[in-house]
Amino acid sequence: MFLKSVFVSLMAVSAVAAMAQPPSSSIKRPKITGISHLAVYTSDAAAADHFYRVVVGADRLTDPENPQGVRYAFSNVQFVEVLPLPAGAGINRRDHLAFNTDDAEGLRKYLVSKAWKTPPTVNKGNDRSRWFSVRDPEGNEVQFVQPPRHAKAINAPNVIGNRIIHVGILVHRSAVEDTFYRDLLGFCPYWIGGMKEGRVDWVSLQTPDSHDWIEYMLEATHSSDDLPTGIPANMTQNFLGVLNHMALGVASVPDAYKVLEAGKRLEGRHDGPPTKVGLDGKYEFNMYDPDGVRVELMNFKPTEKPCCSPYTADHPAE
């Protein structure tokens, strides 16, 4: 009789606890407050250091996430993470892309509630940051980072741009990627464009709680029953580096170019003086790190009307 009474009591407590738990559908997504970083591989650490520290002007920092890596910071919450090139990497020089959030554990639980494959815990850095990684529908690793509450100021007086306004990734089918970025995470349309009329090559989606964006760099158009992933066999390392890129926002690309030129910082591969406005109506200038990853300078706002489609959200600002 005693055991039966205890069993009934435990069942009652369990029922009350279950009632106290909110249903998974009611879990609110924490904020995704912009781009955190792009992580890239290097085959020459010294050359990469010179490019990101001297040419771009970022602050070199230790890497709380990976002791073999180095961070080159543009601000106290945005950076490029440079990692040693792993064996068998082939032409790939991107490890992952990352977005900032105000609550990494809350976002992890949100994704769990939506049945997205998610790690059981968040990682914790010695700088008090927190992060976790998932895969998007095409297999790209995506991190969500909660920066430390009081992130230290950086020392980068010569940085050519202190805000990453977008990251670009190779994408095969935008509709499939949209199920993650738009439908699940709430990214919002910003602009679409293409090299030829009637063709879409670029799809820009802003994070839900900032004006930073991810840019789908569309490789090809495929039928609905054909979902390719990975790197096409005929793609070169240089072209892949054009697709997998990041952009630093500046008030004036021509002025930023003059600063680089005056400081004799225009070393290695780059696209020359920015004499033309891009199809998105903004001045742009491209530099490339020693392994071919593109670092784009882009005006925060357009100076001309864009091709292909109007902008459907506000522009980023410094």
Q: What span, in angstroms and rounded, lies between the C-alpha atoms of 102 and 104?
A: 7
CB 318 within 8 A of CB 251: yes
Per the structure, the complete domain to which residue 214 belongs is given by 32-149+160-299
> Using CA atoms, how far apart are residues 266 and 262, in angstroms rounded to an integer?
9
Let me know if residue 7 belongs to a domain.
no
Q: Count Cα neighbours of 210 within 13 Å in the Cβ-side half-sphere.
A: 22
Q: What is the CATH number of the domain that holds 245?
A: 3.10.180.10
Sign of torsion over alpha carbons 113, 138, 141, 215: negative
Q: Let me know if 164 is exposed, middle or buried by CB neighbors in 10 A (0-12, 13-18, 19+).
A: buried
Q: Quick check: 74 and 34 in contact, CB under 8 A?
A: no
Helices and strands in the chain: count of H runs, count of E runs = 6, 15
In 156-288, which ranges are continuous DSSP H helix?
174-178, 237-243, 253-262
Strands of the sheet containing 164-171, edge to edge, are 188-193, 202-206, 213-218, 164-171, 245-250, 294-299, 284-288
Kindly state the DSSP code that residue 208 receives in the 8-state scheme. Answer: T
Per-residue pLDDT at 229: 73
User: Hunting for tokens 């009474």 — which residue is that?
Assistant: 5
Residue 127 lies in a domain: yes
2: confidence class by pLDDT, cuts 50, 70, 90: very low
Query: 77-80 long-range CB contacts below 8 Å, 24 or more apart?
Result: 77/34, 77/36, 77/147, 77/151, 78/34, 78/35, 78/36, 78/37, 78/162, 78/163, 78/164, 79/36, 79/37, 80/37, 80/38, 80/39, 80/40, 80/52, 80/246
DSSP codes joined into one string, 141-171: EEEEEE--TTPPPP--TT-S-S-EEEEEEEE
Q: Is residue 187, in this structure, part of any structural domain at all?
A: yes
Radius of gyration of the chain, Cα coordinates, nearest whole angstrom: 22
Terminus-to-terminus CA distance in the chain, angstroms? 71
Is residue 117 one of the residues assigned to a domain? yes
Note the pLDDT of residue 223. Answer: 42
Q: What is the pLDDT of residue 227?
A: 56
Is 170 inside a domain boundary? yes
**Band (198; pLDDT cuts 50, 70, 90):** confident
**pLDDT surpassing 90 at residue 8:** no
Q: What is the DSSP letter of 140?
A: -
pLDDT for the residue 1: 39
Torsion angles phi and psi, residue 84, rounded to 5: -60, 140
Name 133's bridge partners: 143
pLDDT tier at 217, thresholds 50, 70, 90: very high
pLDDT (mean) for 279-304: 97
Q: If you average pLDDT over residues 222-233, what whole number do you get?
A: 66
pLDDT of the residue at 226:
57
Q: Is the pLDDT of residue 97 over 70?
A: yes
Q: Is the pTM of this model over 0.75?
A: yes
Task: State how many domains the chain has.
Answer: 1
Confirm whether 16 is domain-assigned. Answer: no
Query: Which residue bears the tokens 């490029």?
Result: 80
pLDDT tens digits for range 292-311:
999 999 999 999 999 999 99
Q: What is the mean pLDDT of the chain?
A: 90
Instruction: Give residue 185's pLDDT.
Output: 98
Would you say residue 242 has pLDDT above 70? yes
Contacts of 133 (CB under 8 A, 6+ apart): 96, 119, 141, 142, 143, 144
pLDDT digits (tens, 9 = 90+) for 16-42: 333 344 455 589 999 999 999 999 999
* pLDDT confidence band for 131 (50 / 70 / 90): very high
Query: Is there a domain that residue 84 lies in?
Result: yes
The answer to whether residue 2 is domain-embedded is no
